[in-house]
Structure 1
Amino acid sequence: MADILSQDEVDLLLNAVSKGEVESPAHEPRGLPDRQDIMHYDFRRPERVSKEQLKGLQSLFEAFARELSIMLPPFLRQIVRADLVSIDQLTYDEFILSVARPTSLSIVNMAPLEGNAVIELSPSIVFPVVDRILGGKGVALPKPRELTEIENRIVHRVMLMILDSLRRSWEQLIEFKLTVVHQESDPLIVQIVAGSEMVILVAYEIHIGESVGAMNMCIPLLVLNPVLDQISQQTRFMRKMPQDVMDRTRSQIERVVKKASLSVDAILGRATLPLSEIAKLQVGDIVQLDTDMRTPLHIEVGGIPKYRAVCGRRGEQSAVQVVELMTEE
């Protein structure tokens, strides 16, 4: 009991502290980390994909873009280029609210992974694709509208080719069995996960001839979680595409492009008439063109002037003979 202070000793200590004769201990909270170690965490937007995993996803989705650029040209008979624009993490609600209406949405089953993804093709690319497949030049509509049943079937065929490209680009990681479950035009009625669930949004810019549009892939993290660790591990060994793979890919692209068919048109000439005169045109009327009989014709390849030629005949068919290569002005 000798360690217990008497009341007089307590009074003396308190008096000494008040006079500054004894230093009082600093009152610092124990067990709390330095303020610099505290990180803000938004429970509404949890970042569940690491930087390493994002790098892996970027490599896979860049490979997907290359596959698209190889697979689609023979089918559409036009040069196609797919560019990866961004990979973002957001909630499913945020994705749905960002999608314009109407649009083309395909719900895709990601077997053997559990769950579905959504692939959106914007109207600015869907209608040129449909027009091209139906024999047109790939013209976009001035105002978007919902797809007809026939147009939806055409888009379904295109989507199967897109899924085949996706399967090829991921085949070293997982053997996908991708299928289109449903097609829809209104994003508000497409519900593949709860609105608060985090998703990966992959944005592409697609160039088809003169048309440019967007393709967006929305994949829930719940679906990707089983392979995220594999993706990050694979990235450590695939920082850069080996030179032999690059050469093989380039050769494959060249072979596909050389087989693509392009329209070749001999332009006799053009004329501009008022609509009132066009409405009065009858059989036997003569329309004066803007070219001279002695002037070589223009040969257009895929709608682009490339050659000058003279008109003639080969056998029983009309023909042209190329006399000059047109240079770009």
Structure 2
Amino acid sequence: MADNAIGLHVYAITQYRMRNSQSIPLSASGEGRLLKEFIPKFIRKFSTAEYEDGSRARFWHLNSVSSNSDTTDGVIRYGSSGFESTIVDSKSLKENYARKVTDVEVIPLYFRLWIPQSGQYGLVALQTFGQRSCVGRFCRGFENGYRSVNDGYRVAFAPVVPAKLASYRDGEVKKISFFKHDHTSDSSENAVLPAGNLVDYQVTIQAKPKGNLGFLGGLREKFAARSGDSDIQYGDTNFDKATAEILIGKKRRRVTLFGVSRETGKFDLTDQVERGANGMPKIDSMRAETTSIFEDIVAS
């Protein structure tokens, strides 16, 4: 994924009894209320910075949080320290700042929690920026915090995979892209580079304006049957990752079909959200896109 690409991981949150691993439906009373009542406690706990020491220390906390009856969203301020670097002006190449080992480079990452009054699950969405992500730390903090205040209970996060959603499974595929990192070029297939060069290799197939390449659910099953979930074979090449651009109603969405586990099922919002002058997505734009995705999931 490009250094400034914007992704969105979505998970279903379910609460369970520890003693028999039985799931607990959400409700406004009894043990079903525990998950909803935990949200403000989680926000309070992580409104101050969590700092993980180590060779490359990490820093994160929640900021700009807003809540209504079922939804809480805001920004995760996330960064790391542990190395020096020099920041220069991209045009003049003049040095603007010498970053110290103890400096923390902090970026904002959008998050959204939706916990309804009833049903079997809630939803959480966590933004990524290029390869930067606070998904693991957010989920671990949530799980550990929930157990610490609700003895005998736990929560689990299950990734929402677009190809398994009814509203996405039947979506028309307009474009498929295959990616392979560190591909060894072959002069017989690549006349531009000498044989043996390492390149990042991409192949894209696009339907005609009124056509399609099939439907998302069937396409994913076809590749899974041929290649399994670890890689995807197209032609004579095994690719590391594949994305599909699908039509949902009148809106196009790009989703990851296959890839490393942390990317499988990710929604790619790079071309959907509006960015601010700082190059980061505007929170209102992230909120609108995430709301739309949540509505698609609930409708399925």
TM-score w.r.t. length of structure 1: 0.23
Higher helix share: 1
Give TM-score scaled by structure 2 length. Answer: 0.25
Select the structure of larger CA radius of gyration.
Answer: 1
